[in-house]
Amino acid sequence: MIDFAGIRQVQMRIAAIQEQFGVPGMPFQRKLDSEIEKARGVRGADAAAAHRDAAQDAAPKALRAAGAKGTTEALPIADKPLADLVREASAKFGVDPKLVSAVAEVESGGNQNAVSGAGAVGVMQLMPETAAGLGVNPYDERENVEGGAKYIKEMLDTFGGDVKKAVAAYNAGPQAVKDYGGVPPYRETQNYVNKVLDIYQ
């Protein structure tokens, strides 16, 4: 069953970040309201089935290789323009593009229109506060990918290049990783890390 508690607070946070970055609010708000109404129409097992089917549909697309200019290495992102954005952002911040694309795949299936129940936005599922701290507009696909790559780089630097800890920090936050001295004992984070590393390796 989908829990809509707090959805208005999420909408207010999204509206605030839209205003901060000068993103036109109404088209996005209408789209968000439309998606919420659609979700409300799906009940119980139907909701779980719809979510599962969407995830299964997205995975094969994202796992198909996409080439890019000047390189033959395939990334786990089906969309070539997105794969190119990942490569550019990765080069800009000195991060392995395969790692950035693996995070993008697990976060959103490479979908810039994805918005989580908690308010995370876009391909790299940036929280508005995180995006603001990174100096990027999460509603712009290029900036969203750049923000994600920059944040991954920050997490790698924070944890001495330890990819597993950096990926865990991307999901659970760096403080949780520091507190537990590694991947926190949260099922969601453990599953997330395993999925990212399976794609990355």
Q: Is 107 a catalytic residue?
A: yes
Q: How far apart are CA 56 and CA 35, in angstroms?
A: 19
Q: How far apart are CA 166 and CA 157, in angstroms?
A: 8
Which string of DSSP letters, residue by residue, matches 159-194?
A: TTT-HHHHHHHHHH-HHHHHHHTSS-S-HHHHHHHH
**Residue 75 φ then ψ, to 5°:** -115, 155
Q: Which of 35, 73, 107, 154 is catalytic?
A: 107
Check: CB of residue 192 under 8 Å from CB of residue 184: no
Which string of DSSP letters, residue by residue, matches 2-30?
A: ---TTHHHHHHHHHHHHHHHT--HHHHHH
Check: CB of residue 138 under 8 Å from CB of residue 121: yes
Helix or strand or coil: residue 66? Answer: strand
Check: CB of residue 158 under 8 Å from CB of residue 169: yes
- Please identify every residue annotated as catalytic: 107
